[in-house]
Structure 1
């Protein structure tokens, strides 16, 4: 059986331009305050992409996307200014991850694993549709997000997680890959590998897929689009902007070593690049 990647888009999200990008030199709280309170503009609707990996060991889902319950702020904390002022979510019932899998004639039990880049609401709101699936999260990330109030403050929506939710925790026990000294093993044959990409949040994880047609870098929120990555410009609400820049440089270094198709979660051009297997050709490191 071949290895391939396809997109399951769980609706769209609009964010503030200063959420999408700000100077890395400002303190974290000031950047977040500007995105929430100081910017009244919106980006275009951005995709909320999850990725389905077909693999001989069984299908693997990368990220779980957004819940339809989050549309129009329904079900999101009324007291949290980030959820009420910084995001505009549009997810139809037929765009929920469970419905999208059903359209592929897949059930949660059919999945070998669900790998979650991080538990922010638009990446980790699907576990209620996947309660019988094996969900994998980096140990460092879960250590930061396991307390539900803290997770909510940091942009997760644990009210959408199943009762007693506790994912399987991945350790950095795999061999080096490019600039990453250690990796997260996901498949036995090494064709699907997790790499640590912290900065957006602690313990953020990306996935590299060595498929038949190309190598794919599934980036979650390590960047919001390929152009920002190439310019080494981070998002505006990350927890550690300088660590985030370090990850962008590692990805560029990897792309210089290995032809790779870059697929962030919210890049409007990701679907086109995937269809055409457009390889990312990075500029020189800054």
Structure 2
């Protein structure tokens, strides 16, 4: 079965995109072919998922202020200017009359700097959720994937963080499926194993009354990769924005098939989606202050 079937008395979630900062990407490091000096300012989106029982966040976007990052990340941030950190996820929640205490669960697609926000702003008993192997990265840095791969020790509260290790359900087309976990057990929200970009990279498949929505994190950094008109870039030193390029390309292909089934796919840095869906992004006041 390509997508999970509806159940009797099916439960639905509601998805709201939250502004959580913008950064500028040197496009040639992400897609190919591409002019060497091409740069694009993109969002780092967070998403509020409302289930009848609780509120969840998927990703926390950029940290505000950016000076609160560790020195190694602040050095990397200089290559991503212009960069803005307001409105951040806290301000965006406030525009919906919500505060961090109203969020039961924060699911991080992965722990790169532009997705982690400031976890300490979310008090107990809120729970953090990460993908397999993500916690082992904390306190490490550098490597072949560039200056952005520095991970703070103690980023997440150990007593309130769950690392998912099992994805018992198959979602996708034929034998080319993604592995997933039915988060609430009611078919409304699936946490999807989406390997390739970084150890522990996960996505969400959300059942809404208007159809399926797939929150793809950094599975791809440009919509043209999903369209098949661009390829993942390989750097001069042989590196790549993904820790496992071959696996990332396979994950992109699987997500593309979901899109072909009518699933709305939203990337974390999806500039084109942002431009086409301004009315779906909170807070509304950013539209009048750009």
The alpha-carbon distance between structure 1 residues 218 and 114, as it changes in their structure 2 partners (threshold 3 A), is same
Helix, strand or coil at the partner of 1:171: coil
User: Which residue is equivalent to 1:265?
Assistant: 268
Q: Once the 2 structures are TM-superposed, how far is the Cα of residue 251 of structure 1 from its aligned partner?
A: 0.9
Contact 1:136 1:169 in 2 (8 A): yes
- What CA distance in whole angstroms lies between the structure 1 residues aligned with 2:132 and 2:42? 29
Q: TM-score, normalised by structure 2?
A: 0.76
- What CA distance in whole angstroms lies between the structure 2 residues aligned with 1:128 and 1:81? 19
The alpha-carbon distance between structure 1 residues 83 and 153, as it changes in their structure 2 partners (threshold 3 A), is closer
Q: Deviations over 1:66-103 (max 9, x none)?
A: 11222xxx24444569615432253345x122222122
Range with greater deviation from structure 2 (220-229 or 78-87): 78-87
**Within the alignment, does 1:86 sit opposite 2:79 as a pair?**
yes
Structure showing greater relative contact order (alpha-carbon pairs closer than 8 Å, 6 or more residues apart): 2
Contact 1:67 1:91 in 2 (8 A): no
| Residues 200-239 of structure 1: pairs in structure 2 closer than 5 A | 200-231=197-228, 233-234=231-232, 236-239=240-243
Q: Deviations over 1:94-146 (max 9, x none)?
A: x1222221221222232231111001011112313224321110122223x13
| Residues 99-138 of structure 1: pairs in structure 2 closer than 5 A | 99-132=91-124, 133-138=126-131
The alpha-carbon distance between structure 1 residues 91 and 275, as it changes in their structure 2 partners (threshold 3 A), is closer
User: Which residue is equivalent to 2:283?
Assistant: none
User: Which residue is equivalent to 1:177?
Assistant: 171
Q: Once the 2 structures are TM-superposed, how far is the Cα of residue 15 of structure 1 from its aligned partner?
A: 1.7
**Please, which runs of 5 or more residues in structure 2 have no aligned partner?**
1-10, 234-239, 281-290
**Within the alignment, does 1:240 sit opposite 2:244 as a pair?**
yes
User: Which residue is equivalent to 2:25?
Assistant: 15
The alpha-carbon distance between structure 1 residues 212 and 272, as it changes in their structure 2 partners (threshold 3 A), is farther
Match of 2:257 among 253, 260, 263: 253
Q: TM-score, normalised by structure 1?
A: 0.77
Aligned residue-pair number: 255
Q: Once the 2 structures are TM-superposed, how far is the Cα of residue 243 of structure 1 from its aligned partner?
A: 0.9
User: Which residue is equivalent to 2:184?
Assistant: 187
Match of 1:46 among 42, 49, 63: 42
The alpha-carbon distance between structure 1 residues 171 and 57, as it changes in their structure 2 partners (threshold 3 A), is farther
Select the structure that is richer in helix. Answer: 1
CA RMSD of aligned residues (A): 3.0
Contact 1:127 1:162 in 2 (8 A): yes
Contact 2:138 2:155 in 1 (8 A): no
Q: Deviations over 1:10-45 (max 9, x none)?
A: 12100212223247xxxxxxxxxxxxxxx6x46231
Helix, strand or coil at the partner of 2:270: coil
The alpha-carbon distance between structure 1 residues 273 and 180, as it changes in their structure 2 partners (threshold 3 A), is farther
**Please, which runs of 5 or more residues in structure 1 have no aligned partner?**
24-38, 278-286
The alpha-carbon distance between structure 1 residues 9 and 221, as it changes in their structure 2 partners (threshold 3 A), is same
Q: Deviations over 1:182-212 (max 9, x none)?
A: 3133222121101111111122111111111
Select the structure that is richer in strand. Answer: 2
Q: Once the 2 structures are TM-superposed, how far is the Cα of residue 275 of structure 1 from its aligned partner?
A: 7.1
Range with greater deviation from structure 2 (84-93 or 185-194): 84-93
